[in-house]
Chains A and B, each alone.
Chain A
């Protein structure tokens, strides 16, 4: 009777680990493409290829940095999806509000995404510098889970928007006015309450009127 190998002696070697890393890399490629699609759809679709490359480069930089300094061995980095649902409408409005050729709009979108990353980086660095990490972990879990779940809901909604082609985040800023009835006021108001934060529910609620 053969005994199955288990435990530390069954750990993968360098080649198997490299293949495992490559598989996770392919997964990351799909992830970055999906995230780029949410920003660069509709009128901004000219920037989709470049956005995918930039998001992949962001993931690569994060992974290499985590390899270098992280206490977790090994740790992998990736472009994050949690804030994308909140950021995408703002990027769409900023980009499509920019005057000039489509290239200028794409450049504005990249600038908005970059500024958000710099602000997030500053917040991370400051939180670490001021030793707030332990304190921030006391954030109530139901609230944190609610934030992330509502981000997930917005991502699903965005995917449906992209699939149906009826409305897109990029088209939000192109809408001529806010006049007329809002297509789903109850839904967006509920979403705002679900986020549990007035500062995020206001822009979502206001922009939802342009999802037409």
Chain B
């Protein structure tokens, strides 16, 4: 599982590097995201690292960093507090459909 995560984080990083046309220090990125996961895991969270697709789209569109910082975390934070209500209103087939979409996307990639 750790190996799969390691492969995934490096593949995501490579993808974003190609899209952004710039080289980064993968060792620095790995150290940083490693510390984040140690902290998150201590609170029962799951492994989290760079989102390839979202980061590539944001890079390609040249979005304003401050705006993105305001919008994305705000939605996540609000959703955190409303998670129970969201789960209550979202039918199981929708969650399973999203899961199927994620799996098919990985197969397609």
Chain A contact residues, CB within 8 Å of chain B: 8, 11-22, 24-38, 48-50, 52-67, 69-87, 110-111, 113-129, 131-134, 136-137, 139, 144-145, 147-149, 151-160, 162-163, 197, 200
Q: Do the beta carbons of A65 and B54 come within 8 Å of each other? A: no
Using Cβ atoms and an 8 Å threshold, which residues of chain A touch B7? 82, 136, 139, 144, 147-148
Task: Please classify the interface of chain A as helix (H, G, I), strand (E, B), loop, or mixed, using the class held by over half of its residues.
Answer: helix
Q: Mark B1-29, 1 if CB is under 8 A from A, else 0.
A: 11111111111001010001000111111
A189 to B45, CA, bound (A): 31
Cα-based distance from A33 to B64 in the complex (angstroms)? 28
Complex: chain B residue closest to A61, CB-CB: B40
Q: A71-B25, A113-B46 are in contact. Are A18 and B68 (CB under 8 A)?
A: yes
Scoring B residues 75 to 109 as 1 if CB is less than 8 Å from chain A, else 0, what string do you get? 11101110110111010110111111111111101
* With A75-B55, A82-B5 as contacts: A62 and B41 at CB distance below 8 Å: no
Residues of B whose CB lies within 8 Å of any CB of A are 1-11, 14, 16, 20, 24-51, 54-55, 57-59, 61-77, 79-81, 83-84, 86-88, 90, 92-93, 95-107, 109
CA of A110 to CA of B76, assembled, Å: 20
A48 to B86, CA, bound (A): 10
* Contact A34/B10 with A22-B72, A56-B76, A80-B48 known, Cβ cut-off 8 Å: no
Collect the chain A residues with CB atoms within 8 Å of residue B41's CB: 113-121
Closest to A155 in B: B103
Task: Give Cα A8–Cα B62 distance, bound, in whole angstroms.
Answer: 8
Distance to closest chain B CB from A210 (angstroms): 19
Total cross-chain contacts (CB, 8 A): 398
A145 to B40, CA, bound (A): 27
**Contacts A75-B50, A151-B4, A162-B92: A26 and B33 contacting too (C-beta < 8 A)?**
no
Provided the pairs A78-B51, A82-B4 are in contact, do residues A133 and B27 lie with their beta carbons within 8 angstroms? yes
19 A-B pairs with CB atoms under 8 Å apart are A17-B68, A21-B75, A28-B76, A29-B75, A32-B79, A33-B95, A57-B80, A61-B45, A72-B16, A73-B65, A77-B51, A86-B1, A114-B45, A116-B2, A117-B47, A120-B6, A124-B33, A139-B7, A160-B96
In the assembled complex, the Cα of A71 lies from the Cα of B20 at a distance in Å of 11
A19 CA to B74 CA, complexed, in Å: 11
Q: In the complex, how many angstroms separate the beta carbon of A166 from the nearest chain B beta carbon?
A: 13
Q: Which residues of B contact A19 (CB under 8 A)?
A: 71
Q: B36: which A residues are within 8 A, CB to CB? A: 61-62, 65, 77, 121
Are A34 and B48 in contact (CB-based, < 8 A)? no
B95 touches A37 (CB 8 A): yes
Task: Evaluate contact between B42 and A114: CB separation under 8 angstroms.
Answer: yes
Interface centre among B2, B54, B65 (most CB of A within 10 A): B54
A16 to B12, CA, bound (A): 25
Report which of A34, A116, A139 forms a contact with B102, defined as CB distance below 8 A.
A34
Could you tell me if B59 and A74 are in contact, using CB atoms closer than 8 angstroms?
Answer: yes
